[in-house]
């Protein structure tokens, strides 16, 4: 590739892919190697004011690199600086050094006139990164590999240029460079890949490097399309639960991946864990938790998926706490509403502990009802009246009993999970726990379930099932119980 063609390609990449206009100032991440040396020369040739920045990681002397940056800055008539960083001691020194280096470069770009940071990544670097991601089992996001422009304004103008073309360009101009000895160390996987695998691939196909780089661009294009499809569904509060039934399976899988990335963008989530999360969303009907790195817990509760930032938010492993006001003790009706002007309203004294749902033991609470009233329960409002029932009657919303077989006082009590209950129309008794499971009430919310009873006879598992007691006939009067659920979705009618 001629020098003119090379400069034109870099110019087009800057404009079309990096978002850098002609004449914009740039900080060049300079290492002294061939790629960053060629980058500085090409950017200067294209008319960009430059500042060269060499980062000293402290792992080896930089004598040759110091001389190189001084010489090149003098040749180009631009400013330069050398910044020292302290690399954190981590399992991957290479990754820690990279983070420190970018932090120093971005700090250098935040001068009187903030600008982008240009680095010397080439098409060869892109191909190596794609191959590394393939070996690690990455998906589309990983195959996108090196970005032309990062969100923090780091740009890669040489991403469409081969390393061999840059060296030929330097040779034609008679410019030398420094080779970084760490690029030869076999302890780094990328170095072994560059020295052993990439030449072998080019032996099979002369276009292997270019094709791998093109794969990165294809992945980026498809990922952009997927993001557009996901955009309407990403604007959700994952702690409020995501309705999995409304999402096509492929979109649902992609959505949970994005939500996971949003909650833990820097966590070391493995492909196996993501696959487990997708399986959790697509193939299990019930309740199950999945614990992920960075304190992230996901819980499926029937057809909804919840995300928690840390286990402490879940108290005793509950799904979202519906209504923060329920953490306070709720008074049962000191001010009661008369639903019929001909009825006498009987006040109820006593308190119902709304936070009993968070205890490890199922707390039993009972309250007497001496007449028509409105009772505020943690799960909703219960209205007791005498008169004609609303039709149609519903196990969940409105039930009626023959007044000849039901007398005050009635009792509202915590539903005993191991207790038995004979549903209306059923020839045998059933465990209350099984009825709550069939109604898809999450385990964490079953402590909210309450029972309306009369003299030891269960009448209504409130908001769930009516019992077979006190069936109504053609003649009244009737005792009518109406239930209006709170904002907790567990007691709402299924769609």
Task: Answer yes or no: are the C-beta atoms of 258 and 223 closer than 8 Å.
Answer: no
Give the domains, in start order, of the chain with CATH numbers: 3-217 (3.40.50.620), 236-314 (3.30.465.60), 324-491 (3.50.40)
Give me 359's structure tokens. 């205890």
Q: Is 181 exposed, middle or buried (0-12, 13-18, 19+ CB in 10 A)?
A: exposed
Angle separating helix axes 63-76 and 34-45, nearest 10 degrees: 10
The span from the CA of 395 to the CA of 447, in Å, is: 19
Is 375 within 8 Å of 446 (Cβ atoms)? no
Task: Give per-residue pLDDT as tens, 434-462.
Answer: 888 888 888 777 777 888 988 888 888 88
pLDDT in tens, the chain (495 residues): 787 889 999 999 999 999 999 999 999 999 999 999 999 999 999 999 999 999 998 888 888 889 999 999 999 999 999 999 888 887 677 888 889 999 999 999 987 677 999 999 999 999 999 999 998 877 788 898 999 999 888 999 999 999 999 999 999 999 999 988 777 778 788 889 999 999 999 999 999 999 999 999 999 998 888 888 777 766 666 556 677 666 666 666 677 677 666 665 555 566 677 777 777 776 656 667 777 766 777 777 777 777 766 544 333 333 433 333 223 222 222 222 222 323 333 333 333 444 333 232 344 577 888 888 888 887 788 888 888 776 677 777 888 888 878 888 888 888 888 888 888 888 888 888 888 888 888 877 777 788 898 888 888 888 888 888 888 876 667 888 888 887 544 444 443
CA 220 to CA 226: how far, in whole Å?
Answer: 10
386 token code pair: 């005498």
Q: Give dist(CA 284, CA 287) in Å, integer.
A: 8
Count CB atoms within 10 A of the CB of residue 255: 23
Inter-residue contact 227 to 305 (CB < 8 Å): no
Determine the 3-state secondary structure of 292 from DSSP.
coil
Which value, in Å, is the radius of gyration of the alpha carbons in the chain?
A: 34
The residue among 443, 382, 395, 400 whose CA lies nearest residue 421 is 395
pLDDT digits (tens, 9 = 90+) for 142-201: 898 999 999 888 999 999 999 999 999 999 999 999 988 777 778 788 889 999 999 999
Contact 27, 53 (CB under 8 A): yes
Ramachandran class of 79: left when φ > 0, alpha when ψ lies in -120 to 50, beta otherwise: beta
**Contact status, residue 347 vs residue 336, Cβ threshold 8 Å:** yes
Give long-range contacts, CB 8 A cutoff, 24+ apart: 248-254: 249/282, 252/281, 252/282, 253/278, 253/281, 253/282, 254/226, 254/230
Nearest alpha-carbon partner for 446 in 459, 428, 458, 461:
461
Quote the CA–CA distance of 29 and 154 in Å, as a whole number.
10
Question: Phi/psi at 211 (nearest 5 deg)?
Answer: -70, -40
**DSSP of 265-285:** TTS---HHHHHHHHHHHHS--
User: pLDDT digit string (tens) for 376-395?
Assistant: 887 788 888 888 776 677 77
What's the CA gap between 459 and 424, in Å, rounded?
A: 10
What is the DSSP secondary structure assignment for residue 346, as one 8-state letter? P
How do residues 92-101 score in pLDDT, each as one tens digit? 778 888 899 9
Q: Give me the pLDDT at residue 72, please.
A: 94
């Amino acid at each position: 590739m001629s020098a003119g063609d090379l400069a034109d390609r870099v110019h087009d990449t800057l404009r079309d892919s990096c978002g850098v206009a002609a004449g914009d100032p740039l900080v060049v991440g300079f290492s002294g190697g061939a790629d960053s040396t060629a980058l500085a020369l090409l950017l200067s040739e294209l008319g960009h004011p430059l500042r060269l920045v060499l980062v000293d990681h402290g792992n080896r002397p930089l004598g040759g690199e110091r001389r190189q940056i001084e010489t090149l800055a003098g040749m180009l008539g631009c400013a330069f600086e050398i910044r020292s960083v302290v690399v954190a001691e981590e399992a991957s020194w290479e990754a820690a050094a990279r983070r420190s280096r970018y932090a120093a470069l971005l700090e250098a770009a935040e001068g009187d006139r903030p600008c982008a940071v240009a680095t010397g990544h080439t098409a060869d670097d892109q191909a190596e990164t794609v191959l590394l991601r393939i070996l690690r089992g990455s998906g589309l996001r990983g195959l996108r590999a090196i970005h032309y422009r990062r969100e923090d304004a780091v740009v890669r103008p040489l991403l469409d240029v081969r390393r061999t073309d840059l060296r030929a360009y330097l040779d034609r101009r008679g410019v030398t460079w420094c080779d970084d000895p760490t690029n030869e160390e076999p302890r780094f996987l990328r170095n072994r890949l560059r020295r052993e695998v990439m030449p072998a691939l080019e032996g099979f196909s002369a276009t292997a490097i270019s094709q791998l780089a093109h794969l990165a661009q294809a992945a980026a294009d498809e990922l952009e399309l997927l993001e557009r499809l996901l955009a309407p569904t990403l604007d959700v509060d994952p702690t409020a639960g995501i309705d999995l039934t409304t999402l096509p399976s492929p979109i649902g899988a992609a959505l949970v991946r994005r939500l996971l990335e949003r909650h833990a963008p820097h966590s070391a989530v493995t492909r196996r864990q993501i696959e487990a999360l997708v399986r959790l969303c697509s193939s299990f009907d019930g309740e199950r938790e999945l614990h992920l790195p960075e304190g992230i817990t996901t819980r499926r509760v029937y057809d909804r998926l919840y995300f928690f930032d840390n286990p402490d938010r879940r108290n005793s492993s509950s799904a979202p706490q519906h209504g923060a006001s329920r953490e306070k003790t709720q008074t049962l009706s000191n001010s009661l509403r008369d639903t019929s002007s001909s009825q006498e309203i009987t006040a109820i004294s006593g308190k119902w502990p709304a936070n009993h749902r968070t205890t490890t033991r199922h707390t039993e609470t009972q309250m007497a009802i001496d007449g028509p009233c409105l009772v505020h329960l943690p799960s909703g409002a219960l209205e007791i009246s005498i008169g004609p029932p609303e039709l149609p009657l519903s196990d969940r919303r409105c039930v009626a009993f023959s007044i000849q077989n039901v007398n005050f006082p009635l009792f509202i009590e915590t539903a005993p999970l191991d207790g038995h209950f004979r549903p209306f129309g059923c020839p045998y008794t059933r465990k209350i726990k099984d009825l709550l499971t069939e109604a898809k009430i999450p385990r964490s919310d079953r402590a909210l379930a309450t029972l309306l009873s009369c003299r030891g006879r269960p009448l209504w598992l409130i908001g769930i099932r009516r019992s077979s007691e006190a069936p109504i006939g053609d003649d009244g009067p009737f005792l009518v119980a109406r239930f209006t659920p709170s904002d907790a979705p567990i007691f709402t009618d299924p769609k």
